[in-house]
Amino acid sequence: MHRPENISLRIEAAAQLCRGANERFTPLREHVFELIIQDGGAIKAYDLLDRLKPEVGSPKPPTVYRALDFLSKMGLIHRVEALNAFIACDHAHDGHLAEFFICEDCSKVEERHAHDHADCKPDGFTIKRSIVEHYGTCAACIA
């Protein structure tokens, strides 16, 4: 779980990133991002919907998916394909190569920055974002 001051700093950094890109960081986008950070792991869209209902007056699924698409486009979150879930990004946004280690027993997801994959791209190819998923068992589940 993240401390409140860490969440505030990450939300302010996200707002600055959006302003710098001339994009709107609406209250709903901010709230969805905050919930993903608070979760601390990979969270599904419908779980976000359940958590939003008390505060935002029951937003419809397409509204939440649009917010998730925006946050993903801005590099603030990643979609973990294997779990059909979303996780907050802890890294820089330019050319970020995300690498996920997914426990098949407990569904814990850990993100790492994949440094070496950028060297194997074709000549002239510019990577905007990349995600690699590894499946296995985490240390806690092995123990």
Taking only the tens place, the pLDDT of each residue in 17-31 is 999 999 999 999 999
Distance between CA atoms of 71 and 40, rounded to whole angstroms? 16
Q: How many CB atoms lie within 10 A of CB 56?
A: 15
Mean pLDDT of 78-99: 77
Split at pLDDT 50, 70, 90, the class of 41 is confident
Enumerate domains of the chain plus CATH numbers.
4-88 (1.10.10.10), 97-142 (3.30.1490.190)
pTM of the complete model beyond 0.85? no
Share of the chain above pLDDT 90, in %: 43
pLDDT for 93 beyond 60: no
